[in-house]
Amino acid sequence: MVNRILDNTKGDRWIWLIVIMLSAISLLAVYSSTGTLAFKRGVGVESILMKHLAMVVGGIALMYFSHKVDYRYYAGISKLLMIITIPLLLYTLVFGAHINNASRWIPIPGTGLSFQTSDLAKLALITYLARTLSRKQENIKNVKESFAPIMGAVCVVFALIAWANMSTGLMLFGVSILLLIMGRISIKQIGITCLAGAVLLAGIMFLGPRRHMYVTRINTFMHPEKVDPDKAFQANHAKIAIANGGILGRGPGNSVERNYLPESYSDEIYAIIVEEYGLIGGITLVGIYLFLLYRCIKIVTRAPKAFGALLAAGLSFSLTIQAFANMAVAVGLGPVTGVPLPLVSMGGTSILFTSVAFGIILSVSRDIEEPKKVVVGEIREVEMAV
């Protein structure tokens, strides 16, 4: 059975190994950091771990099925995804569940899970941009046919996400700009898009429902010595956790700050990993994400079609930028955000959508490998005939 699954597993083998490694790290870190959460819920830590394990296994299954689908099919559903995504984002802002003073989630009836619509929006926008940029190359300078729909999609999705989740919106906007550069959009048009994004950002910062929180977080990051210690509680305890880790760490399960850090199993899980596994563990995790980016860039440079290259680039940039943003917050290089560490932080649907993104990247990688196998097979047939 295992051999049969391995024979049907295609794509970059290193990315499969990276996913397995990150999943194993996630299980260890989540098990260690959910003691306080289990106490609050009145359940055992093992119960939370088993739910997380189910999500991890479900994510790997989704990744397997996603990588078996020819990546070109995702171009066909990109418009449909955008049509679904924008109303969902609007619905979330108005009727979504309010968690941590933000309306980002839609409860899934009967499951006890919450669906974060920004996860779907990331997939939808990246696939839509990859499809549009690859198909409009001949008229890429045409404002009405090419630039207007691209800029409209980027700005609308950015505004709807940033209204409740500024960090995710900014990262997705940055990935979109990178795709526009790769898609040969002119510097002038990219500048117009950035200007429109800056105007939207300023409007959300000064008029949005979370404007006071954004100002507080920025002030806390820029001038930590001048703010109330309670407002810098999360950032301070993340730094304490990292300082306690030293070179080798306290050892698995020996974190102290997991009892103080809010969201220690999600937003601040990197701080817990460094506390338990030390500088060596922290650098190892950074190295894994850097190696992931390297493997994805190799896929991008070897992809025979523009759509595949843009799709793999957008998804890989999105995953790695999110990872480094999470780790930067933990070590004090950025203001506190609500960005999880991909495939490591405990989560529900976010793990599933991240796994689908990996599956699509592997699908592009599979398309690169299969032509080689066909050529090798033809050469062998010729040799046998001779």
- pLDDT 10s digits, 268-315: 899 999 999 999 999 999 999 999 999 999 999 998 888 999 999 999
The H or E element that residue 102 is part of is strand 102-108
Q: How confident is the model at residue 4 (pLDDT cuts 50, 70, 90)?
A: low
Q: Is the pLDDT of residue 242 over 80?
A: yes
Range with top average pLDDT, 234-238, 343-347, 367-371, 382-386: 343-347
pLDDT over threshold 90, residue 265: no
* pLDDT class of 179 with cuts at 50, 70, 90: very high
pLDDT at 56 over 50: yes
Share above pLDDT 90 across residues of the chain, in percent, rounded to a whole number: 38
Give the model's pLDDT for residue 43. Answer: 85
Q: Mean pLDDT across the chain, nearest whole number?
A: 83
Query: Is the predicted pLDDT of residue 2 greater than 60, yes or no?
Result: no
Token couple for 74: 């995702």
Higher-confidence residue of 262 and 382: namely 262
- Compute the distance between CA of residue 365 and CA of residue 13 in angstroms, rounded to an integer: 10
Q: Give me the half-sphere count of Cα atoms (radius 13 Å) on the Cβ side of residue 7.
A: 4
| Predicted confidence (pLDDT) per residue in 98-126, tens digit | 665 555 777 776 666 677 888 899 999 99
pLDDT at site 227: 64
Question: Diameter of the chain by CA atoms?
Answer: 82
pLDDT score of 27:
93
Confidence category of residue 28, pLDDT binned at 50, 70, 90: very high
pLDDT at 42 exceeding the cut of 90: no
CA–CA dist 204, 126 (Å, integer): 23
Q: What is the mean pLDDT of residues 15-31?
A: 93
| pLDDT exceeds 50 at position 138 | yes
- pLDDT tens-place string over residues 187-209: 888 999 999 999 998 888 887 77
CA 13, 19, 25, 28 dihedral sign is negative
Tokens standing for residue 188: 């002038």
